[in-house]
Structure 1
């Protein structure tokens, strides 16, 4: 018997927000296994603040939607929650840092954009970000590496500059999670040195009813490192919203 697609005839489509230097390729291995009938993926490249990106998305999305954000996408998702909690049917946060950025990080982040411009995106990412992106045992995974580099090259330097400003200007919206009663999923990797387990513990403490899962063999890039596991957890999350 054929299984009906998740969210079929549902008024709340699945909205997926990508991270820094990411596009639809990030989510493709997950959505291929999810069997979701209504899904929209967004690359965050049209504004230089989380507040502006959140407003831009809320202007084009339906009145109700299921929202999942990865890394920078999770930051924007939390800003959307702050602006319009009644429109979010449920929330999933993957590899997210919920805190404000430290003021002394701003110049370091902007200097990194200049370094990427001088060195070229691939060389800069390979030398600075790739060693921190995935679990140690995946560092020699050529296919995974090529996917991450391809997304970065397709995103480009201008997008990196804008997304850097989003990270710098982000706000801490954890206090709003306490009153958010909809199903909430938190996913992180045990080897993530960018958005650490402690970052996700802070989110879990803010939303006690959330389901928090740490993937023991993953780093930061959960949707690419463990798409089957992520799809399984997200499938359960989607079905919970329909129960």
Structure 2
């Protein structure tokens, strides 16, 4: 049996390390690739970057947070290239005025104190229990530090200027999985429930004891949900997916 291609899109200040557990767990089910979202400063530009990196064949697409925003743009630009979609800890909304102001404040801080920005972000990204996991905190910190302040600036600009995607959700016709951390404060479950209502046949699973970086916080549960999603693509979608 030919394995499908699965293209993964990381979130803000994340790279392939975000998906390391799922890449290993799902290697038997799919050809897994992680795209680079560090080069452009607009969602449109990042979507074009991803399409240039994508397999020539149709592929399954999974995006977390910023990666989800880019995935929704890809669904508008090239829906024929994507045969299945997974959106994790993300939103179809544009930024609120309050969120925009928060991004601008962090961008100003990053210009002179990028390590301080990482410290501010950590409690928003990880569940309190996982903040006590020194190895996990070190991994997230190292990932952000290696990408650096300039990538942070470009990615924040892209998110600041993104459009509201709610109007285009009904146009998504491929099998879609929505997956979120039950305690996510940045993109809480209600936002995923809203997307589920707008995307025909979309499946929703919530992961306990996880905030915004589920693939690292709950790697086995996320891998199980994504594995079930991939399996479901070869048969009618199940009524529920493990969470």
What is the root-mean-square deviation in Å for CA atoms of aligned residues?
A: 1.6
- Contact 2:94–2:165 (CA under 8 A) maintained in structure 1: no
- CA distance in 2: counterparts of 1:49 and 1:138, whole angstroms: 31
Secondary structure of the equivalent of 1:29?
helix
Partner of 1:54: 47
TM-score, normalized by length of structure 2? 0.90
Q: Could you tell me how far 1:103 is from its partner in structure 2?
A: 4.3
Q: Could you tell me how far 1:173 is from its partner in structure 2?
A: 2.1
TM-score, normalized by length of structure 1? 0.90
- Contact 2:170–2:198 (CA under 8 A) maintained in structure 1: yes
- CA distance in 2: counterparts of 1:177 and 1:209, whole angstroms: 12
Partner of 1:135: 127
Q: Could you tell me how far 1:101 is from its partner in structure 2?
A: 1.2
- Contact 1:183–1:240 (CA under 8 A) maintained in structure 2: no
- CA distance in 1: counterparts of 2:127 and 2:99, whole angstroms: 24
Matches within 5 A, 1:92-131: 92-103=86-97, 105-121=99-115, 123-126=116-119, 128-131=120-123
Matches within 5 A, 1:56-75: 56-61=49-54, 62-75=56-69
Partner of 1:231: 223
Runs of 4+ in structure 1 off by over 3 angstroms are: 103-108
- Contact 2:183–2:208 (CA under 8 A) maintained in structure 1: yes
Q: Could you tell me how far 1:30 is from its partner in structure 2?
A: 1.6
- Contact 2:114–2:148 (CA under 8 A) maintained in structure 1: no
Partner of 1:4: none
1:131–1:161 Cα change, 3 Å: same
Q: Could you tell me how far 1:26 is from its partner in structure 2?
A: 0.3
Structure 1 counterpart of 2:37, from 36, 39, 44: 44
Higher relative contact order (CA 8 A, sep 6+): 1
Q: Which runs of 5+ in 1 are unaligned?
A: 1-7
Q: Which runs of 5+ in 2 are unaligned?
A: 236-243
Q: Could you tell me how far 1:105 is from its partner in structure 2?
A: 4.0
Matches within 5 A, 1:1-243: 9-10=2-3, 12-35=4-27, 36-61=29-54, 62-103=56-97, 105-121=99-115, 123-126=116-119, 128-243=120-235
- Contact 2:61–2:71 (CA under 8 A) maintained in structure 1: yes
Q: Could you tell me how far 1:63 is from its partner in structure 2?
A: 4.1
- Size of the alignment, in residue pairs? 233
Q: Could you tell me how far 1:55 is from its partner in structure 2?
A: 1.6
- CA distance in 1: counterparts of 2:6 and 2:164, whole angstroms: 24
